[in-house]
Structure 1
Amino acid sequence: MPHSPPSSPLSTAAAPMVVDGHAHVFLKDMPLAGTRRYAPSHDATPADYLGLLDAHRVTHGVLVQPSFLGTGNDYLLAALRAHPQRLRGVVMLDPQTDEVELAALNTAGVVGVRLNLVGQPLPDLDAPQWQGFLARLKALDWHLELHRQAADLPPLLDAALRAGCRIVVDHFGRPDAGQAQADPGFAALLQRAASGRVWVKLSAAYRNGPDANAARACASQLLTAFGPERLVWGSDWPHTQHEQLADYGTSLAALTDWVPDAAQRARILGATAAELFHLPAFPQS
């Protein structure tokens, strides 16, 4: 794994709040989902993660339930309860989850629900069950997080927009590696920026192919379409299946490459993330 120094390339004076909007915690011996694309061979503990945040002067983190754990969110929830001022969570849930359970999760620090649909059948988000579930998310001001290749995003985005909830799209929108910013699905994502209710994570460009120039071009188009008000950054720690390509420091440094303007980075890392993820203004112990 590449080595990086512990210092952050971002000025904490310019951005006193620095939010990592996408990371995972798990233990390798935890029960795994029956349908999965990956099984971990190592642990990624909250203590490990918080140590990286401290080393890189990152003030807050958002833990996202990994797909291989399915709806077993207990480990993530325990981390949120142990660090309520510093961490927020995005869980995986059955769409039948009712208001009572959602309210308890909200109290625990959950701010969204993830649909990791890579390799999965596409759900009909216009179906009554899903529209009802999305309405319950909207009532809590949670977001729906979508992880799917760009080509399949348009119907998912449109159905979620009809429900009125906020939407967060993972990993640049997952444009095709051979097309990058020319992917029609990516172009459709850019068009949905006008809705005012879609955010995109600048994270894990390595999941979209090895071309750094393509990642830079996609980031530029996302910044033009969405502005720093609806982009967030995520480390994607611990970089599952791509550990040899990145570590925490290289993931953080990539944002400077994607967003050269320091004021825009400060907005992405600070105010935008704080509002989307319901975070306090400053870190507390």
Structure 2
Amino acid sequence: MTAAYLPFHPDPSKPRFQVPAGAVDAHCHVFGPAAQYPFAPERKYTPVDAPKEKLFALRDHLGLSRSVIVQATCHGRDNSALVDALRSSNGTARGVAVVGAGVEDDELVRLHDAGVRGVRFNFLKRLVDDTPLETFTDIAARISRLGWHLVVYFEAEDLERLKSFLGELPGTVVIDHMGRPDVSAGVDSAEFQQFIRFLDEHPNMHVKVSCPERLTRAEPPYDDVVPFARTLVERLPDRVLWGTDWPHPNMKSHMPDDGSLVDFIPRIAATEALQRKLLVDNPMRLYWPEEAGR
């Protein structure tokens, strides 16, 4: 398979918005390089190489301090590229891995020692094959012993089917990309209001106000996504995270400018207090708890 989506932006702008000291990109990826870390045979898409050096250079360019690297489906359950990036980060990166039901305890400990602090469950049928929910339940119980949390990725239309299962998961659960709402329907839509109620009913649920470039039905600067993200930030200030999603895998319509994505932040978190919670306090509490509050 050849690369199936646009390459990442070659020259992202320098953000106008200056993030607070210690800001965390809580959702980004590394891909390959494929010659060293081959992509999974069962992958649904093939990315371009996006190695750790490029990620860390972008982090510095944007004025960010730390990264949370999330394993993507193109690498399957082989977390080798993720682990290599974590070990090369001098403690400035943490990871979210993908594991199967048969993962050995020794492997979980190895991942923990490298900096992994969570496991991702992906329910997008266009990206992964179906997995019995019982498999996820077993994994959730095992990783909770390490103090890890769960990251879940689903479409808004799947919430009704998954909400009972998700509501019973132990510990902290982080929902990717605002639960992927239909932004054309507006924040008052029944679908998004159901999502809000679900978050209200489950105080262990956190949510990433990320990926306006995926959710928009318009062009940058993603005006149609602002009300959704701002609603979540203001309603759940202690349970929101933000990330670039670099290198924006499987994007086919346009490739966002990561500098502009940083400039999106003050539009959804209007005060310095909200910006600090979103970018520093909340991700530090989840991924660097030993340093949180210093």
Q: Same fold (TM over 0.5)?
A: yes
Picking from 264, 267, 270, the partner of 1:260 is: 270
Amino acid at match of 1:99: D
1:2 to partner: Cα distance: 8.2
Picking from 14, 21, 27, the partner of 1:6 is: 14
Residues 45-80 of structure 1: per-residue CA shift (max 9 Å, x gap): 111111111122201001111111111110110111
Give the corresponding residue for 1:38: 45
Question: Is the counterpart of residue 110 in structure 1 residue 140 in structure 2?
Answer: no
Question: Is the counterpart of residue 241 in structure 1 residue 250 in structure 2?
Answer: yes
Question: Is the counterpart of residue 159 in structure 1 residue 150 in structure 2?
Answer: no
Residues 136-162 of structure 1: per-residue CA shift (max 9 Å, x gap): 222222121111111112443432331
TM alignment of 1:1-285, pairs within 5 A? 1=9, 4-7=12-15, 9-11=17-19, 15-27=20-32, 29=34, 30-40=37-47, 42-118=48-124, 119=126, 120=128, 122-125=130-133, 127=134, 129-194=135-200, 195-211=202-218, 212-225=222-235, 227-242=236-251, 244-278=254-288, 281=291
Amino acid at match of 1:73: N
Amino acid at match of 1:52: L
TM-score, with normalisation over the residues of structure 2? 0.84
Matched residues in 1 for 2:225 and 2:90: separation?
Answer: 33
Amino acid at match of 2:238: E
Matched residues in 2 for 1:272 and 1:151: separation?
Answer: 27
TM-score, with normalisation over the residues of structure 1? 0.87
Matched residues in 1 for 2:160 and 2:206: separation?
Answer: 14
Alpha-carbon distance change, 154 to 43 in structure 1, aligned in 2, over 3 angstroms: same
Alpha-carbon distance change, 192 to 137 in structure 1, aligned in 2, over 3 angstroms: farther
1:17 to partner: Cα distance: 1.3
Residues 81-118 of structure 1: per-residue CA shift (max 9 Å, x gap): 12241000111110332433222211110011112222
